Amino acid sequence: MTDEEFDSDAVVTLEQGAGGKAMRDLVSEVLTAGLPDDSLDIGREAMDDGAVVPIGDRNVVFTTDSHVVHPPFFPGGDIGRLAVSGTVNDLAVMGATDVRALSSAVVVEAGYAESDLERIADSMARTCREADAAIVTGDTKVMGHGDLDGIVVNTTGVGVADHVVGDDGLSPDDVLVSTGEVGRHGVALLAEREGIDFGTTVESDVRPINGVVDRALSVAGADITAMKDPTRMGLAGAASEMATKGGVGIELRQDRIPVPSDVKGASEMLGLNPLQIANEGIALLGVRPTAAADVLAALRSHPDGQDAAAIGKAIDDEHGRVLLDTGLGTRYLREPATEPAPRIC
Amino acid sequence: MTDEEFDSDAVVTLEQGAGGKAMRDLVSEVLTAGLPDDSLDIGREAMDDGAVVPIGDRNVVFTTDSHVVHPPFFPGGDIGRLAVSGTVNDLAVMGATDVRALSSAVVVEAGYAESDLERIADSMARTCREADAAIVTGDTKVMGHGDLDGIVVNTTGVGVADHVVGDDGLSPDDVLVSTGEVGRHGVALLAEREGIDFGTTVESDVRPINGVVDRALSVAGADITAMKDPTRMGLAGAASEMATKGGVGIELRQDRIPVPSDVKGASEMLGLNPLQIANEGIALLGVRPTAAADVLAALRSHPDGQDAAAIGKAIDDEHGRVLLDTGLGTRYLREPATEPAPRIC
């Protein structure tokens, strides 16, 4: 069989949708083939959390996500809260904490309970209020029962950034800061799906973080060199991408990474590494060393930043790699090529 | 059974997704419940084709659509061309012919052929070039085989309008202009789906119309009082909405409405009224009588406006209703409460 014949039989796999390397390959090879991309500061080729579109004298940040999470209701959140938070957070980590408009496009299967749709809409409304954002336009489509399992919610956002922050700006010695605890979303989802009883219920961290990120930006401005939200591929995936794009290595200290004890216990039982699992309510910030103390204090002054911690730093070695200092030694922390959990967001 | 019990059992129906009155009721009752909506010139409550968001000194228009068309490849187009055109056209009919950015969020079932995905991506790229637009950010999710039939493409757009045009601006005596022929998209889709051979293949009109609409705006400016693209509910649906929102009646002359002969023949065999079926490549314009001749000449100077025609006018009577002068008499042209064809876009 020639390569060409092999390619013509190729099909999309679940792994390609999980947000890791396989998906980035699919997106860059297929979906961006031949699309024009001129005059953008951060466009598709950068594969950041969104794109920067200059309009008048403003830096408009534009980002989209479709949400297919299963189950749609889970401890700590639901697909509506996830959709609004996911889009607000992608704007925020590019510096656009000022969310100007959100759109909501819902595809639902015929037979879906209107009461569930109302719960989702109410949750989107509440989450918008938390983020000081508004859904200003929308679309609804219904697919036949059997053509779709449940509901798909797309949210797209437009924000304005005074100071655009990419995920590629790390320099050696920059301090890596997490705005909060790690591992909650993925563990909450998988525990709910597997129906495992850990004695306690792990809740997802899903929340809009533009408020807490804005605290950091307002004290440190350009001293925040890079930001990313560690969603589908977890802390390991986000740190790995920041290292690759910044042309640096990253050294993390395990004892500094805030992993809550219930997440530790549950992820052990599930056989998962909490550093490789999805978060929906935190950001990773690269901060110039001189500004790190101010940024930590600013983050901790916000209700969503109480657990903020300096978890490591960028190094001028091991470019593109993430090292984890466990206290007993140092090992590579790898980005999983495929995520073990489909439909986690 | 009390009303409350009845409501708690309510489910979404296919008819609610078809873009007619039932869908507007679902959207306004459920999906916009409690969402904040301040400081917008045209926001959700107007239920226009998009929302206007002031950023700096510019009028930014923002619109979203999810596309679930079945089959995804059809005579004259495919889901990719439809997605780009649909969003570009929703911007254009609000005056934002200057498309600044598009997003593309794809949800696809596991097992989907990569070659089909490439065809769709190539088609999106070609359609972007026609519209002088660019997809600048995207997202891909994969659902399990059996959880989704095929592919869902969401496109969201950001455009800038010098002069924002609503769909509510008609005044009595305004001339109603169609930029082109009526009925092609819906008939092409249904003929393909039913596998009926009419001796000739009706092709969809799906195309970006920001270029041809811009011609009209550049000669007439504020003399264009209202615009709408007659998509899911056809000419009848769009005219009916323009009449209701403008507080006028509309009188159409059947002999002036450009219905191509192949559409006439096919829609007779399918038992459909071409005035009630979807279009994806035309707009309806309300134009002050003094500017009508200039607008028609400008439209006809564009390759996509060769068939432009003045098809009727707004009247200060029969508010919210559309009258059709058939030559033998005048009858009401009703917006169907439900569209006969699901997954037409």
A82 and A227 housed in the same domain = no
Of A103, A132, A161, which residue constitutes the final position of a domain? Answer: A161
User: Can you tell me the distance from the alpha carbon of B296 to that of B313, in angstroms, rounded to the nearest whole number?
Assistant: 14
Of A112, A129, A161, which residue constitutes the final position of a domain? Answer: A161
In a domain, B325, yes or no: yes
Q: Does A32 touch chain B (CB under 8 A)?
A: yes
- Tell me whether residue B197 is exposed, middle or buried, using C-beta atoms within 10 angstroms of its C-beta: 0 to 12, 13 to 18, 19 or more: exposed
B140 and B274 housed in the same domain = no
A125 and A249 housed in the same domain = no
Q: Does A301 touch chain B (CB under 8 A)?
A: no
In a domain, B201, yes or no: yes
Q: Which of A35, A126, A343 is nearest residue B143 as measured by Cβ atoms?
A: A343
User: Can you tell me the distance from the alpha carbon of B123 to that of A174, in angstroms, rounded to the nearest whole number?
Assistant: 43
Contact A13 B142 (CB under 8 A): yes
Counting the structural domains of chain A, the total is 2
Q: Chain B residues with CB inside 8 Å of A11's CB?
A: 110-114
Count of CB atoms situated within 10 Å of the CB of A317: 11
Q: Please report the sign of the dihedral spanned by the C-alpha atoms of residue A221, residue A223, residue A228, residue A234.
A: negative
Write the CATH number for A225.
Answer: 3.90.650.10
Q: Which of A26, A63, A128 is nearest residue B140 as measured by Cβ atoms?
A: A26
In a domain, B8, yes or no: no
Predicted pLDDT of residue A19: 56
In a domain, B232, yes or no: yes
B182 and B326 housed in the same domain = yes
B292 and B199 housed in the same domain = yes
The neighbouring-strand residues paired with B299 are none
- Residue B167: C-alpha distances to residues A250, B51, B294, B314 (Å): 54, 12, 21, 13
In a domain, B65, yes or no: yes
Rg (CA), chain B: 20
A26 and A131 housed in the same domain = yes
A114 and A255 housed in the same domain = no
Shortest Cα–Cα distance, A232 to chain B (Å): 11
The token duo for B33 is 């419940």
User: Can you tell me the distance from the alpha carbon of B28 to that of B23, in angstroms, rounded to the nearest whole number?
Assistant: 8
Write the CATH number for A139.
Answer: 3.30.1330.10
Predicted pLDDT of residue A34: 47
Q: Does B13 touch chain A (CB under 8 A)?
A: yes
Task: Report the chain A residue with the minimal C-alpha distance to residue B65.
Answer: A139
In a domain, B345, yes or no: no
The residue count of chain A comes to 345
B19 and B145 housed in the same domain = yes
Q: Chain A residues with CB inside 8 Å of B20's CB?
A: none
Shortest Cα–Cα distance, A239 to chain B (Å): 20
Task: Please report the residues numbered 107 through 146 in chain B whose beta carbons come closer than 8 angstroms to any beta carbon of chain A.
Answer: 107-115, 117-118, 121-122, 124-126, 128-129, 134-144, 146
Write down the pTM of the prediction: 0.92
A179 and A320 housed in the same domain = yes
In a domain, A7, yes or no: no
In a domain, A338, yes or no: no
| Mean pLDDT, 10 residues at a time, chain B of 345 residues | 47 68 58 50 67 95 96 97 98 98 95 93 95 93 92 97 96 98 95 83 96 98 97 95 97 98 92 93 98 98 98 98 97 78 83
The residue count of chain B comes to 345
Q: Chain B residues with CB inside 8 Å of A87's CB?
A: none
A181 and A106 housed in the same domain = no
User: Which residues of chain A are modeled with pLDDT < 70?
Assistant: 1-8, 15-47, 337-340
Shortest Cα–Cα distance, B174 to chain A (Å): 28
Contact A56 B53 (CB under 8 A): no
A245 and A282 housed in the same domain = yes
User: Can you tell me the distance from the alpha carbon of A168 to that of A226, in angstroms, rounded to the nearest whole number?
Assistant: 6
The token duo for B212 is 């041809």
- Tell me whether residue B328 is exposed, middle or buried, using C-beta atoms within 10 angstroms of its C-beta: 0 to 12, 13 to 18, 19 or more: exposed
Contact B18 A142 (CB under 8 A): yes
Q: Which of A137, A149, A154 is nearest residue B62 as measured by Cβ atoms?
A: A137
Helix (H, G, I), strand (E, B) or coil at B194: helix
Task: Please report the residues numbered 144 through 203 in chain A whose beta carbons come closer than 8 angstroms to any beta carbon of chain B.
Answer: 144, 146-150, 152, 154, 156, 158, 160
CB pairs under 8 A between A and B: 309
Structural domain boundaries, residue B318: 174-332
Q: Chain A residues with CB inside 8 Å of B146's CB?
A: 149
User: Can you tell me the distance from the alpha carbon of B35 to that of A170, in angstroms, rounded to the nearest whole number?
Assistant: 38
A140 and A233 housed in the same domain = no
Torsion of CA A270, A275, A277, A283, to 10 degrees: 150
Of B161, B194, B226, which residue constitutes the final position of a domain? Answer: B161
Contact B138 A27 (CB under 8 A): yes
- To 5 degrees, how large is the angle CA B323–CA B292–CA B207? 80
Backbone angles phi, psi at A36, to 5 degrees: -70, 145
Query: Tens digit of pLDDT for each residue in B200-238?
Result: 899 999 999 999 999 999 999 999 999 999 998 999 999
Predicted pLDDT of residue B3: 37
Classify each residue of A221-256 as buried b or exposed e, where b means 16 or more C-beta atoms within 10 Å of its C-beta. Answer: eebbbbbbbbbbbbbbbbbbbbbbbbebbbbbbbee
